[in-house]
Amino acid sequence: MTKTVTFYFDYGSPATYLAWTQINSIIEAANANLNMVPMLLGGVFKETGNASPASVPAKGKWMNSDLKKHAELYEVEFNSNSFFPINTLNLMRGAIAAQQMDIFEKYSKAIFTGIWIKDLNLGDILILQDYLEKNDIDSTTLFGLAQSDDIKTILIQNTKEAVMKGVFGAPTFIVDEELIFGQDRLNFLKSALKT
């Protein structure tokens, strides 16, 4: 039976960016399905009592070097973002709008790249809209949709559902009933897809 990876994500998480660079090849190799679920990481932190590793200065410093080591290992571009932590509310509502408009992969690539390679402040709605237009995405339509009550509700529900399933950070993958946390646990994700 074909397995499905439910990938809970927030664009503001650098570890999620790294996992995103790897996920397609993992999905293809396992002949699995991918279900990307936008959630608000800040909401998850609040609900679970968790916090960003960067909230502990020594851990934040280590994490930065650790992310760079993983980027080298994966052979992908990665830069710290000068505006971290970015408020991702509009970005994550936008992700749901992009899913409904069937431009999700294009939108995700633009956002992940903008934050974690190009060092942009995509928490600023004006910078964000300008950036999307330059990437051939109709930001007026997208953010018109993103501000709908329907989409606001979906994001809240996704986040609540994530917490109910045991999610406390990002990226988190769920395969069958197994919760796999972290871009550094892709080996366990691959194993889960094999069993």
- Do the Cβ atoms of 155 and 91 come closer than 8 Å? no
Compare residues 72 and 119 and give the one whose CB is closer to its own copies. Answer: 72
Beta strand residue intervals within the chain, DSSP E: 4-9, 33-38, 172-175, 178-181
Q: Does 57 participate in binding its own copies (rule CB under 8 A)?
A: yes
Size of the site for its own copies (CB under 8 A): 23
46 binds its own copies (CB under 8 A): no
Q: φ and ψ at 175, to 5 degrees?
A: -125, 120
Q: Which of residues 45 and 83 has its CB atom nearest to its own copies in the complex?
A: 45
What are the start-end ranges of the E strands in 46-187? 172-175, 178-181
Interaction between residue 69 and its own copies (CB under 8 A):
yes
Q: 49: phi > 0 → left, psi -120 to 50 → alpha, else beta; which? A: left
Contact string 4-43 vs its own copies (x = CB under 8 A):
----------------------------------------
Among 163, 170, 186, 193, binds its own copies (CB under 8 A): 163
Identify the CA nearest to 44 among candidates 16, 22, 71.
16
Residues that bind its own copies (CB under 8 A): 48-50, 55-59, 61-62, 65-66, 69, 163, 166-169, 179, 181, 184-185, 188
